[in-house]
A and B are shown apart, each in its own frame.
Chain A
Amino acid sequence: MSVNLLSFDHVAFGYSQARPIFSDLNYQLRRGTLSVILGPNGIGKTTLLYMALGWLQPSAGQVLLENRPLQVYSRAELGRRVSLVPQTERQPYSYTVLEYVLFGRAPHLALFGAPGENDELAARQALARAGIPELAGAYVDQLSGGEGQLVLIARALAQEPRVLLLDEPSAHLDLGNKFRLMQTLSDLRRDGTTILMTTHDPEIALAVSDETVLVDGSGSVTVGTPTDLLTADKLSQLYHLPVGALEIRSSHPGVTLRRF
Chain B
Amino acid sequence: MNEDASLLKARPDRARKKWVWAVLVAALVLLLALSVFLGRYPQVGFLRLSQLRENLLAQLLVVNVRLPRLLTALLLGMVLAASGTVFQMIFANPLVEPGFLGVSQGAAFGAALAIVFFSASAALVQGMAALFAFAGLGFSYLLARRIRVGSWLLRLVLAGIAVSALFSAGLGIVKYLADPLRQLPEITFWMLGGLASITWTKFLAILPACFLGLTVIFAFRWRLNLLALDETTAFSLGAAPRRERLVMMIAAVLATSAIISVAGMVGWIGLIIPHIARRLVGSDTRRNLPAAILLGGAFGVICDDLARMLMAGEIPLGILTSLLGAAIFILLMARGLGKEVRS
The interface of chain A, by Cβ under 8 A from chain B, is 50, 53-55, 75-76, 78-80, 82-84, 86, 89-96, 98-99, 103-104, 106-107, 109, 111-115, 117, 120-121, 124-125, 128, 133, 136-137, 141, 156, 159, 165
Q: Contact: A53 with B232, CB < 8 Å? A: yes
Cβ-neighbour of B230 out of A89, A93, A117, A159 (below 8 A): A89
Task: Give 5 closest A-B pairs by Cβ, nearest first.
Answer: A79-B238, A107-B238, A84-B236, A114-B222, A93-B283
Q: Contact: A86 with B7, CB < 8 Å? A: no
Q: Contact: B223 with A106, CB < 8 Å? A: yes
Q: Contact: A159 with B8, CB < 8 Å? A: no
**Is B220 on the interface with A (CB-CB < 8 A)?**
yes
Give the distance in Å from the alpha carbon of A198 to the alpha carbon of B228 in the complex: 25
Q: Contact: A75 with B7, CB < 8 Å? A: no
Of all chain A residues, the one with the shortest Cβ separation from B218 is A112
Of all chain B residues, the one with the shortest Cβ separation from A133 is B7
Q: Contact: B342 with A113, CB < 8 Å? A: no
Of all chain A residues, the one with the shortest Cβ separation from B340 is A94
Most A Cβ at <10 Å: residue of B228, B278, B283: B283
Give the distance in Å from the alpha carbon of A79 to the alpha carbon of B240 in the complex: 11
On chain B, the residues within 8 Å of A83 by CB distance are: 236-237
Cβ-neighbour of B340 out of A53, A93, A125 (below 8 A): A93
On chain A, the residues within 8 Å of B188 by CB distance are: none
Cβ-neighbour of B222 out of A78, A92, A115, A121 (below 8 A): A115
Q: Contact: A55 with B240, CB < 8 Å? A: no
Q: Contact: B284 with A86, CB < 8 Å? A: no
Cβ-neighbour of A94 out of B7, B226, B240, B341 (below 8 A): B341
Q: Contact: B283 with A99, CB < 8 Å? A: yes
Give the distance in Å from the alpha carbon of A89 to the alpha carbon of B282 in the complex: 20
Smallest beta-carbon distance B338→chain A, Å: 9
Of all chain B residues, the one with the shortest Cβ separation from A88 is B230
Q: Contact: B283 with A50, CB < 8 Å? A: no
Give the distance in Å from the alpha carbon of A185 to the alpha carbon of B233 in the complex: 20
Residues A103 and B226 in contact in the complex (CB < 8 Å), given A75-B239, A79-B237, A121-B7: yes
On chain A, the residues within 8 Å of B238 by CB distance are: 75-76, 78-80, 106-107, 159
Of all chain B residues, the one with the shortest Cβ separation from A122 is B7
**Is B309 on the interface with A (CB-CB < 8 A)?**
no
On chain B, the residues within 8 Å of A124 by CB distance are: 7-8
For the A-B complex with A93-B228, A93-B342, A112-B220 known, give 9 more contacts whose Cβ atoms are closer than 8 Å. Answer: A55-B235, A78-B238, A79-B237, A84-B236, A86-B236, A93-B340, A95-B282, A113-B222, A124-B7
The interface of chain B, by Cβ under 8 A from chain A, is 4, 7-8, 11, 92-94, 219-223, 225-226, 228-230, 232-233, 235-240, 278, 282-284, 286, 339-342
Q: Contact: A117 with B8, CB < 8 Å? A: yes
Residues A89 and B233 in contact in the complex (CB < 8 Å), given A75-B240, A107-B238, A112-B219: yes
Smallest beta-carbon distance A166→chain B, Å: 11
Cβ-neighbour of B341 out of A53, A92, A111 (below 8 A): A92
Smallest beta-carbon distance B121→chain A, Å: 39
Q: Contact: B225 with A103, CB < 8 Å? A: yes
Q: Contact: A141 with B342, CB < 8 Å? A: yes
Q: Contact: B342 with A91, CB < 8 Å? A: yes
On chain A, the residues within 8 Å of B93 by CB distance are: 92
Give the distance in Å from the alpha carbon of A125 to the alpha carbon of B4 in the complex: 8
Q: Contact: A128 with B11, CB < 8 Å? A: no
Smallest beta-carbon distance A195→chain B, Å: 15
Q: Contact: A79 with B236, CB < 8 Å? A: yes
Give the distance in Å from the alpha carbon of A81 to the alpha carbon of B218 in the complex: 28
Of all chain B residues, the one with the shortest Cβ separation from A152 is B233
Q: Contact: A86 with B222, CB < 8 Å? A: no
Residues A159 and B237 in contact in the complex (CB < 8 Å), given A55-B232, A92-B228, A96-B282: yes
Of all chain B residues, the one with the shortest Cβ separation from A125 is B7
Q: Contact: A84 with B283, CB < 8 Å? A: no
Give the distance in Å from the alpha carbon of A121 to the alpha carbon of B221 in the complex: 21
Q: Contact: B8 with A114, CB < 8 Å? A: no
On chain B, the residues within 8 Å of A112 by CB distance are: 219-220, 223
Give the distance in Å from the alpha carbon of A103 to the alpha carbon of B235 in the complex: 12
Q: Contact: B342 with A92, CB < 8 Å? A: yes
On chain A, the residues within 8 Å of B282 by CB distance are: 95-96, 99
Give the distance in Å from the alpha carbon of A26 to the alpha carbon of B267 in the complex: 56
Smallest beta-carbon distance B12→chain A, Å: 8
Of all chain B residues, the one with the shortest Cβ separation from A82 is B236
Give the distance in Å from the alpha carbon of A115 to the alpha carbon of B339 in the complex: 26
Give the distance in Å from the alpha carbon of A153 to the alpha carbon of B132 in the complex: 45
On chain B, the residues within 8 Å of A115 by CB distance are: 222
Give the distance in Å from the alpha carbon of A111 to the alpha carbon of B239 in the complex: 9
Of all chain B residues, the one with the shortest Cβ separation from A104 is B237
On chain A, the residues within 8 Å of B11 by CB distance are: 96, 98, 136-137
On chain B, the residues within 8 Å of A54 by CB distance are: 235
